[in-house]
Structure 1
């Protein structure tokens, strides 16, 4: 009779070779862990009672003040030589009810009148200019009483590994979801001011981080966070967007101070250039359409001027800030806003040009990459070839579209060329120019999805191109239940399920497919019904702790047992934020009081930081 352990090992090896899941069929209860005590009968007795279950008080280890600041590129004064001209100006604010009549510079194509007219054309609904704050808030120290670690959960990870030297761990947020101050200090309209065209919450105020950033950074440093990932809005830096238009000096000063504040707090900044907030001028505002699976098809990336404009914007950011920022991301999840051929093609070319500027002209010494979305597609029946093919197609259409040329110097996937209207292959010169233009493969792997072919088959689905066919362009079915009818994991408030073992398999897929260090650039979990709970119950968010600790544990196993180079991981988000018209899907590891803008640490924040610090290697 075969030993079950041997059967499991053989099945696992075969599955690894085929890139498939393994289901081992067994009967009866799971085996108990091996116990070291003797199997003896218990003895019962009385003894004096005393209260001995005293709690051990532990505090978060805050970041120490830095002694040196590493440089990653030339300072602005030296980098400026890469521009023939770079003029700056300021514009001020656009307030509710204002018109351009009050401006006296109507003859200036980039003056206050021209800037204000962009907001009039944006036609904001129920616009609120400011929240509580209208100037930068000076930070105050975080009281020690807020830094006491919460009670531990009974069960936790049992791994014995440590994160390798230089592993990047931190927290992330995006400007559109936390900054507010939408039409203040020179910022011009973006796609996101038009995206929510109903009565849902808008991005006008959100967390007021634009003025509250110093306190937010202070709170992160007090918790011991080492990397803070944030985004810079294109429309703040270049309100008129295009090359040759003036740079907003107020915005330059703001983000210069933000970066310095991060460094002064003992942390390191990570900057993303574009996080969904495309300039509105690229968008046909009356033609923003959303596909249930692939996002917003007319979000502006396909505009013929987009590539040159983004490259210019990227150069402005790098010229001003690259000396102090160790890690850069060009695009966040571009597929959600560019799933048409021209849009992705523009993103691929724009990213490659920005990378070459950073490496070849600035001689940047940090890391620059791009990050993607993809809920890992796993076959519903891993023993069915058509299901495996459907999962491979789903993953390659989401990731290979960008990953093939950027990381491997390979052609766009055939599934893309055969499916998307207007698709054309890259020529040899383009492939050579794009190849190797990323230092890491950024991925936001929140969860997994169970994939099987369209009922009529993939080929028949592709042939039936119709706006009413919601399975296009993938032509696969996506489900949240496995082949036995169980959900793939514990469910959240949104699309996320706790799927740590699928996550580990995903890391192996990415590393072995695209052959670059994998950067888990976002991952997080909105606890079901959390927004409806009282504050103490929101703070004791054990399901989110389970999510984070299980995912971090699987990262360690992936590194040490699967040989995968995982560069780091960023928890999303460092605070509950605006989820594109929604505040109820709370991804944050801090609660926000929407009336007072107070922040409160959640249990999961303590748990994940403590987990990492207790398993940390050397810094580089």
Structure 2
């Protein structure tokens, strides 16, 4: 009875906010733009002299102009490093499992022998680096022939909106997915080096961006992209991960050089501190734990380790004191729910994030912005007129988002959906909430797609609540039934390589939900589209002419404009995933890239969607 009463009250509260309905109608689609259709009742057939009247406008992408001013967002590094405990700098070498030479500095706990031992302990499966480069490649200017826009699609956006002046548009990537140079210049192993244990491709080479970053930035700037969003590799800066251990001078300098080159090309860097590649030290020597299924997310990311908060904050402080003068936007974590194992993980992420925010704003005096990126394949009710389905959607979304966003943005407790489901959650005190609340300038979100949600048992809210107390339920931990189709049986979108993609259809609803629920500007930190079976296309011309991706991006950005101008939602920016096909955590077959990558030559080529997306944004900027 108690569960039922709670269910009824929750349904009444949620139903009020339902915003969409299925409307049944018959007949052809209306053409509201054709107000004079009746006057075209009879065509006028006639002969005329024929001539070839074809014409095509050739346009070239507009490069980002060279910077004329320099902006700073904190004091220079020399005056900031005194704010943190004294650090030492050193360098290490390259790990090669086939080498016969051994380091002889065995008395140094952080020497080459100890660093090599990290890789030997990790013993990454099938390790091989068939890399083309071993030093930074100097960039070359792009020929005009590479920057000519493709023929425009017949159908396209018809809006007349403009993006606000401060809107941030750019492209994104992450260290483990693009860098390569996995065991070079002092980088130590991370979760990404041992996570994939079968015969699937690893991240050992990826796109060799570590040595090709200058040419990469040259290409992006030539296309007219203003923002470049990337992540640092924690294990490249702190190979031994923990506070008090030496900083890798080569890794630290690499990211400094990268930031400088981004700025030199007129672009603006945004930095993510942790994008899934947790140092292996947080698995306490038990690397089999990396393969254990977590209770909450998809992967055990090691966040629950008792040393994690202090170590992450120390790493963030080192990065910020060295780069904060030049970086205007920081993200602490990427999609932490997916790599959270239990309640301790969630607690550690939230508290580590808050400490970094306070350090940056108060101790360091940074004037830039700090955020955190979340995932949520937006749950939409299977039947929005059914209060049970609406309740299920709210339960699903609140578990994934409000678990972090309630404390961070609103300074209030975890949602019931989380506390009912995760028995070991850490209680947040009033002091905790006061410290954590308001510690983000944006709500970062990666809204790729949506999922259709209903209770596990149709029309039974109690089936959701019963699932929350049964971790062995096939519906745990979200405790809803997720499907891909609407009540009529149609898939709600196009089947891509990895998801059903319909985000443009529900994006405005989603952005409104985020903005009006958590009361902060929304920044779309990733959005992208892997065309089905693109990896199987043999001819380069077929790979480059990726019209389905163009349709996705242009409809997506059209909905962003409507959200801004028609719904009053403050969308601060959008970063497309990804600027090039890369390692998608286990394979190279899901092509999200705006550029192709030849895995033999590492040559990049712009896809049609890249031109279309940049042209759409720049035309409206």
Q: Shorter-chain TM-score: what band?
A: over 0.9
Residue 349 (structure 2) pairs with residue 343 (structure 1): no
Shift, 1:433, TM fit: 0.5
Change (3 A) 1:540 1:397: same
Show the counterpart of 1:536: 541
What secondary structure does 2:269 align onto?
A: strand
Structure 2 match to 1:19: 18
Deviation at 1:464, TM superposition (A): 2.5
Check if 1:59 corresponds to 2:60. Answer: yes
Distance in structure 1 (CA, Å) of the matches to 2:297 and 2:114:
31
1:499 and 1:296 map into 2 onto residues whose CA distance is 22
Listed one character per residue, the Cα deviations across residues 446-473 of structure 1 (whole Å, up to 9, x for unaligned) are 010001111271122223232xx33111
Tell me what 1:250 maps to.
Answer: 250
Shift of 1:295: 3.6
After TM superposition, the structure 1 = structure 2 runs for residues 178-577 of structure 1, keeping only pairs within 5 Å, are: 178-283=178-283, 284-289=286-291, 295-455=297-457, 457-466=463-472, 469-533=473-537, 534-577=539-582
Q: How does the TM-score come out when normalised to structure 2? A: 0.94
Q: CA RMSD in A?
A: 1.6
What SS class does the counterpart of residue 451 from structure 1 fall into?
Answer: strand
Partner of 1:43: 44
- Residue 160 of structure 1 and its aligned partner are, at CA, apart by 1.2
Instruction: Give secondary structure in 2 for the equivalent of 1:519.
Output: strand
Residue in structure 1 matching 2:595, options 590, 593, 612: 590
1:424–1:256 Cα change, 3 Å: closer
**3-state SS, counterpart of residue 392 of structure 1:** helix
Q: CA deviation at 1:290?
A: 6.2
Maintained 8 Å contact 1:290/1:296: no
The 3 A distance-change label for structure 1 pair 557 and 16 is farther
Alignment of 1:57-96 (within 5 A): 57-96=58-97
Q: Which residue of 1 aligns with 2:614?
A: 609
C-alpha deviations, 1:552-607, integer Å up to 9, x for none? 00011001111100000000000000011111110000000000000000000000
Q: Distance in 1 between matches of 2:207 and 2:297?
A: 25
After alignment, is 402-411 or 282-291 more displaced?
Answer: 282-291
Q: Does the 8 A contact of 2:337 with 2:375 survive in 1?
A: yes
Alpha-carbon distance in 1 for matches of 2:502, 2:143: 33
User: Aligned partners of 1:432, 1:233: CA distance in 2, in Å?
Assistant: 31
Deviations 1:260-315 (CA, angstroms, capped at 9, x unpaired): 00001110001100000000111231123465995445220000000000000000
* Contact residue 273 and residue 331 of structure 2 kept, 8 A: yes
Deviation at 1:339, TM superposition (A): 4.2
151-160 or 216-225, larger mean C-alpha shift: 151-160
Counterparts in 2 of 1:24 and 1:221: CA distance versus 1, 3 Å: same
Contact 1:446 1:496 in 2 (8 A): no
Question: C-alpha distance in 2, partners of 1:584/1:292?
Answer: 26
- 1: distance between equivalents of 2:289 and 2:181? 26
Tell me the distance in 2 between the aligned counterparts of 1:231 and 1:336: 17
Shift in alpha-carbon separation, 1:40–1:417, aligned structure 2, 3 A: closer
Q: 1:30 to 1:296 in 2, by over 3 A?
A: closer
Cα distance in 1 between the residues matched to 2:504 and 2:296? 24
Any idea what the Cα deviations from partners look like across 1:27-67, whole Å, max 9, x if unmatched? 11111233365325222222222221211100100011111
Please give the per-residue CA displacement for 1:155-201, whole angstroms capped at 9, x wherever unaligned: 11121110012000000000100001110000001001111101100
Which residue does the alignment assign to 1:3?
none
Equivalent residue, structure 1, for 2:32: 33
Q: Secondary structure at the match of 1:286?
A: helix
Paired residues, number: 600
1:129 corresponding residue in structure 2: 129
Do the aligned residues in 1 keep the contact of 2:302 with 2:341 (CA within 8 Å)? no
**What CA distance in whole angstroms lies between the structure 1 residues aligned with 2:296 and 2:587?**
19
How far is 1:214 from its partner? Answer: 0.5
CA contact (8 A) 2:21 2:383 kept: no
Mapped to 2, the partners of 1:612 and 1:264 lie a distance apart of 22
Distance 1:118 1:105 in 2: 15
Is contact 1:130-1:181 (8 Å) kept? no
The alpha-carbon deviation at position 127 of structure 1 amounts to 1.3
Task: Determine the C-alpha separation between the residues in 2 that align with 1:88 and 1:129.
Answer: 27
Contact 2:406 2:413 in 1 (8 A): yes
Report if aligned partners of 1:491, 1:498 keep a CA contact under 8 Å in 2. no
For 2:290, what is the secondary structure of its paired residue?
A: coil
Give the structure 2 partner of residue 9 of structure 1: none
State the secondary structure of the residue aligned to 2:288. Answer: coil
Task: Please state how far the C-alpha of 1:17 moved relative to its aligned partner.
Answer: 5.5
Uncovered stretches (5+) of structure 2, i.e. residues with no partner = 1-13
8 Å CA contact retained: 1:522, 1:571: yes
Instruction: Assess if the C-alpha contact under 8 Å between 2:294 and 2:341 holds in 1.
Output: no
- TM-score normalised according to structure 1 size: 0.94
Question: Does the 8 A contact of 1:297 with 1:340 survive in 2?
Answer: no
Residues 93, 185 of structure 2: 8 Å contact kept: yes
